[in-house]
Amino acid sequence: MLFFTQCFGAVLDLIHLRFQHYKAKRVFSAAGQLVCVVNPTHSLKYAPTRCAAAQTSTEQGVLPPCRHHEAVHDPQLVPCTCPLFSCPWEGHLEVVVSHLRQTHRINILQGAEIVFLATDMHLPAPTDWIIMHSCLGHQFLLVLRKQEKYEGHPQFFATMMLIGTPTQADNFTYRLELNRNQRRLKWEATPRSVLECVDSVISDGDCLVLNTSLAQLFSDNGSLAIGIAITTSKVHNAEDEM
């Protein structure tokens, strides 16, 4: 009986996954697009990240507390770029992708255009949906966050971060697109580098911002499908031609 129950549960999970893929393809009818179903990570208590704490201390005119090991801190080390947890990991930029995949189990999808299908949009804030996107020889981090910027008024924030330097990020343009019920909404911008803090990008509003009503217009049974496309910038193309 236990074996039968486990097998039956696995079959139901597979059917649910296939159904989520079908809904995404119904929303984005373009052939050949890859669909990735992303489940939310809900945190009951949002621990402030180190970059957010340092920014707050600087704004208040107070330097963050000094630690003994900071005297020999390697400036080339990058803190964990995953906004879900207050992760103490540090490493070089080249191994950030390995850390995100192995430690935080973040999926990676390849292709110039993909569909990011975020499920369970009704969950209370704060909630995050995250995926890595491999394209044009680089890796990008897409973060969708449900957060109360004002008490009692949750909003959705979506941004794309390049796992690279700010100079490299300037060479690309990303587009996020919502398309449902004869409505279309697009956001196009230059990705930010993961060397910058995701929390700062969201607090500045330099990303796709949706209030609850607008998100409901584009959602389908609690799931939100976001089309993602990444291209090289015109300046970068012109330099290559020269």
Tens-level pLDDT at each residue, the chain (242 residues):
555 555 555 555 445 445 554 544 444 444 345 778 888 876 534 444 445 444 443 344 433 333 333 334 455 678 887 765 668 888 888 888 888 888 888 888 888 789 999 999 999 998 999 999 999 999 999 999 999 988 888 999 999 999 999 999 999 999 999 999 889 999 999 999 988 888 889 888 899 999 999 999 999 999 999 999 999 976 544 444 44
99 φ/ψ angles, rounded to the nearest 5 degrees? -65, -45
Name all domains of the chain by residue range, CATH numbers in brackets: 31-39+78-232 (2.60.210.10)
Separation CA 112–CA 33 (nearest Å): 9
Q: Kindly report, residue by residue over 83-101, the tens digit of the pLDDT.
A: 656 688 888 888 888 888 8
What's the confidence (pLDDT) of residue 42?
64
Largest CA distance in the chain: 69
Angle among Cα 90, 95, 99 to the nearest 5 degrees reads 70
What's the confidence (pLDDT) of residue 147?
92
The label of the residue with tokens 């490299």 reads: 168
138 φ/ψ angles, rounded to the nearest 5 degrees? -135, 165
Q: Kindly report, residue by residue over 186-214, the tens digit of the pLDDT.
A: 999 999 998 888 888 988 889 999 999 99
Separation CA 18–CA 38 (nearest Å): 13
What's the confidence (pLDDT) of residue 44?
37
What's the confidence (pLDDT) of residue 175?
96
